[in-house]
């Protein structure tokens, strides 16, 4: 038994007066809020939620099943009523006797870590009833049987979004942390929070995009992306950076690394301690990295062909010219790994042997299973995206960023919003979150090509995808390759990556599963001795069997990859300076494209 002692700070008349003074400051901020919302740039409403037909179908099925089996519905309702009445009765008892019965276990949830959720009858009732409601909704969705598997998955996802959105921690009147801080600071935390809210809205043309990191703490090229190098080539699609050597000799075969163009390349060069780019140069390799353009509406007709022709093929050719070699080793990360696979298939059909080996980081090539993106890859959302990009010329970066964030909404949406807008806190100085918020637009044609042809129709892994006059299939990918995937990756699930690699035509294939997720599993330097990895040379079995029979290794996968790459990188030659007479330095790394504002 615990007593519900008053845990709020003592409130004096002086506190109340200062609180009133602070509240008057809200008027000025409210005017700014109205102004920014009035000037908000509209976007396609279909991007804000699923077509209502989904809920209509679910409701029809639910009530049809209830009609056929009313006992099932009654059982669920009676259980819900019983728990609700018990919650209320316990709260009444606690208020009467001044004590809270803490013998009833409630599900662990870090959102409710404040002791008042357990000891204060008011907050305890709110928490209990919220969790009772959440359980009832989850059970109701789970009981809908006669529904298409994709619709069932979408219904489950969006119902969970509603549950998370309605959490009492998201509202000032039912958040003890925010209320306590408001009283302690005499309302200043709320003033600061409203200032943060208005500033975020103003920074995004009225769209609410929660700032995750303190932007004033970082500068690309200042304390991020600082590995020395030069931009030695530039076209409308990319800047090609050649990094300065860190050893006296280097392997003859250079590396060309293609990062995703949804985010910026410097995730691989955040700081010296975890920079893959710096580490590669220290192992004795000549490294080229593509920095993609952040497209504006003039790129509306830019498609996957342009990324291949003016990105992948152009970068490979320039690296060959500068290093005076016939082949390079290529790396593709995420969507760039998907596109590198398309490029390999194209080069196979053209008889072009410029790539000696390929490394894929978290790259999907078989989209027969859409994983956690299933809710967003159905026609209602894709139709909405197509309508949006037709009007705008690009898929604006905040739309893609918002979609990614809502896959982890508690950590990337609601938690940061509470700290910023209700608690009035400055976002943390966290480089990874800064990078996460530094997104890029996607050209209209490219976005639709990718979503329709690859994600929805899965053409590359099935009958083939038409690109640049060729029909490309996974079987065309036949160079030696290593695929690095991540065990808890929610963007490119490792089992889905595995299925694509199995279908590739390469006779030499190495598959690795790193612990952790899409970013931490890749940006995993050996010095941290943090996440381990799994290997298994047998790629004939299904994914579950592969993992069950795999060997686990402590620490980063970087060293085993480098050992694999070394065998395919030729003899040692004198270290190369950046560029040559026909490819002079155009700018120091990290270049100009990575910091350019496409809206200017």
Residues with catalytic function: 334
Please count the CA atoms within 13 angstroms of the CA of 490 that sit on its side-chain side: 9
**Count of CB atoms situated within 10 Å of the CB of 273:** 10
Yes or no: say if 372 and 457 are a contact pair by the CB < 8 Å rule: no
Alpha carbon distance 352, 470 (integer Å): 14
Of the candidates 64, 176, 163, the residue with the CA atom closest to the CA atom of residue 115: 176
Yes or no: say if 229 and 589 are a contact pair by the CB < 8 Å rule: yes
What is the distance, to the nearest Å, from the Cα of residue 208 to the centroid of all Cα atoms in its chain? 17
Can you point out the beta strands (E) in 99-219?
A: 99-100
**Count of CB atoms situated within 10 Å of the CB of 89:** 10
Please count the CA atoms within 13 angstroms of the CA of 131 that sit on its side-chain side: 15
Q: What are the Cα distances from residue 480, in Å, to 345, 473, 564?
A: 13, 17, 10
SS3 for 588?
Answer: strand
Please count the CA atoms within 13 angstroms of the CA of 390 that sit on its side-chain side: 7
Q: What are the Cα distances from residue 418, in Å, to 8, 35, 210, 409, 568?
A: 19, 23, 10, 12, 51
- State the Cα angle at 368 between 365 and 371, rounded to 5°: 90
Instruction: Give residues with Cβ within 8 angstroms of 63, minimum separation 6.
Output: none
SS3 for 150?
Answer: helix
Yes or no: say if 205 and 246 are a contact pair by the CB < 8 Å rule: no
Instruction: Give residues with Cβ within 8 angstroms of 35, minimum separation 6.
Output: none
Query: Phi first, then psi: what are they for 263, rounded to 5°?
Result: -125, 180
Instruction: Give residues with Cβ within 8 angstroms of 97, minimum separation 6.
Output: none
484 secondary structure, DSSP code: E
Of the candidates 43, 50, 8, the residue with the CA atom closest to the CA atom of residue 391: 43
Q: Please list the alpha-helical segments (H only) found in 533-578.
A: 543-549, 558-566
């Amino acid at each position: 038994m615990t007593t519900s002692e008053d845990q709020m700070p003592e409130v004096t008349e002086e506190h109340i007066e200062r609180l009133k003074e602070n509240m008057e400051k809200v008027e000025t901020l409210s005017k700014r809020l109205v102004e920014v919302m009035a000037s908000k740039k509209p976007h396609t409403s279909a991007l804000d939620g699923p077509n209502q037909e989904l809920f209509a179908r679910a409701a029809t099925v639910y009530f049809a099943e209830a009609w056929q089996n009313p006992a099932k519905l009654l059982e669920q309702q009676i259980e819900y009523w019983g728990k609700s009445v018990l919650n209320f009765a316990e709260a009444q008892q606690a208020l009467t006797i001044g004590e809270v019965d803490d013998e009833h276990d409630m599900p662990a949830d870090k959102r409710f870590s404040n002791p008042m959720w357990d000891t204060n009858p008011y907050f305890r009732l709110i928490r209990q009833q919220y969790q009772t409601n959440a359980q009832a909704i989850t059970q109701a969705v789970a009981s809908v049987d006669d529904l298409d598997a994709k619709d069932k998955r979408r219904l489950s996802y969006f119902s969970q979004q509603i549950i998370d959105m309605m959490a009492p921690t998201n509202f000032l009147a039912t958040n003890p942390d925010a209320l306590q801080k408001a009283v302690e600071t005499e309302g200043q935390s709320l003033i600061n929070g409203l200032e943060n809210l208005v500033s975020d809205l103003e920074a995004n043309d009225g769209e609410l995009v929660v700032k995750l990191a303190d932007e004033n703490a970082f500068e690309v090229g200042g304390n991020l992306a600082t590995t020395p190098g030069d931009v030695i080539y530039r076209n409308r699609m990319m800047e090609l950076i050649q990094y300065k050597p860190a050893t006296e000799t280097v392997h003859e075969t250079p590396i060309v690394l293609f990062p995703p163009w949804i985010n910026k390349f410097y995730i691989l060069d955040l700081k010296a301690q975890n920079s893959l780019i710096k580490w590669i140069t220290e192992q004795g390799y000549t490294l080229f990295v593509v920095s993609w353009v952040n497209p504006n509406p003039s790129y509306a007709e830019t498609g996957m062909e342009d990324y291949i022709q003016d990105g992948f093929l152009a970068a490979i050719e320039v690296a060959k010219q500068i290093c005076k070699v016939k082949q390079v080793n290529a790396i593709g990360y995420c969507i760039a790994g998907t596109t590198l696979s398309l490029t390999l298939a194209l080069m196979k059909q053209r008889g072009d042997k410029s790539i000696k080996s390929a490394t894929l980081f978290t790259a999907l090539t078989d989209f027969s299973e859409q994983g956690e993106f299933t809710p967003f890859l159905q026609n209602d959302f894709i139709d909405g995206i197509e309508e949006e990009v037709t009007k705008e010329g690009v898929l604006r970066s905040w739309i893609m960023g918002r979609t990614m964030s809502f896959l982890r909404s508690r950590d990337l949406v609601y938690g940061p919003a509470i700290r910023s807008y209700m608690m009035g806190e400055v976002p943390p100085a966290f480089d990874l979150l800064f990078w996460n918020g530094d997104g890029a637009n996607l050209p209209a044609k490219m976005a639709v090509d990718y979503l329709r042809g690859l994600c929805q129709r899965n053409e590359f892994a099935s009958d083939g995808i038409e690109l640049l006059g060729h029909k490309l299939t996974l079987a065309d990918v036949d160079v030696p390759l290593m695929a690095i995937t991540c065990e808890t990756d929610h963007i490119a699930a490792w089992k889905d990556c595995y299925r694509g690699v199995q279908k590739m035509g390469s006779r030499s294939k190495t598959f690795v599963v790193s612990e952790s997720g899409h970013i931490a599993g890749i940006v995993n330097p050996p010095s941290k001795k943090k996440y381990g990895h799994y290997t298994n040379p047998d790629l004939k079995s299904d994914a579950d069997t592969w993992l069950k029979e795999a060997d686990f290794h402590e620490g980063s996968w970087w060293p085993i990859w480098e050992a694999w790459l070394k065998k395919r990188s030729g003899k040692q030659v004198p270290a190369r300076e950046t560029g040559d007479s026909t490819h002079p330095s155009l700018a120091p790394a990290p270049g100009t494209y990575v910091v350019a504002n496409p809206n200017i």
